[in-house]
Amino acid sequence: MFGPRWIHFGILHFIAAALVIARLLAPLREWNLLLAAGAFAAWWFYRDPAFNGTPANIVGFVTLKPRTEDYVPLFPWIAVTLAGVGLGSLWQRRSFALASSLQRVDARPPRLLVLLGTWALTVYLVHQPILIGLLWLVSRLA
């Protein structure tokens, strides 16, 4: 569909890699916040043309964005994942206490949120052909 711009490391690839990395680093608990800051700083300050080619560009230290439709490299996005692991650890220490404004939603979540959360991958995969079909239809009508 996209010609020579095929997806070689997109969001689904990143999620799979990030889940493995997060699982390995979860025992570090709150230290993941420091790792997250370091990962983001590394991406912010370091770029090298050696990372521009495939497969090195999945790391994210590129000087030129690769020609692809879905590019989600490890850096900086692993920083977001590690921050979530660290913040989750802090939240766990508070016995998973929710803000009072969220307790009602937690006790009885809206059915739509339950459906979307339960079938997240299916929703993600199905929405794309639907949106592409709608865009094609709009382009034909315009």
Whether residue 78 is predicted with pLDDT greater than 70 in this model: the reply is yes
pLDDT at 111: 95
Work out the angle between the directed axes of helices 74-93 and 31-45 (0-180°, nearest 10).
160
DSSP character at residue 40: H
Q: What percent of the chain has pLDDT over 70?
A: 98
Whether residue 5 is predicted with pLDDT greater than 80 in this model: the reply is no
CA quadruple 131, 133, 139, 142: dihedral positive or negative?
A: negative
pLDDT at 98: 85
The arithmetic mean of pLDDT across residues 3-28, rounded, is 91
Q: Over the stretch 45-75, which tens digit does the pLDDT of each residue have?
A: 999 999 999 899 999 999 999 988 889 999 9
- CA–CA separation, 74 and 87 (whole Å): 19
Q: Residue 51 corresponds to which tokens in the numbers above?
A: 């990372």
Q: Over the stretch 88-97, which tens digit does the pLDDT of each residue have?
A: 999 998 888 8
Domain range annotation of the chain: 1-97, 107-142
Q: What string of DSSP letters covers 59-95? A: SS--SS--S-S----HHHHHHHHHHHHHHHHHHHHTT
pLDDT at 1: 60
Residue 13: band (very low, low, confident or very high) from pLDDT cuts 50, 70, 90: very high
pLDDT at 2: 63
First to last CA, the chain: 21
Whether residue 27 is predicted with pLDDT greater than 70 in this model: the reply is yes
pLDDT at 72: 96
Q: Residue 66 corresponds to which tokens in the numbers above?
A: 């690769």
Check if the beta carbon of residue 75 is closer than 8 Å to that of residue 60.
Answer: yes
Residues in the chain: 142
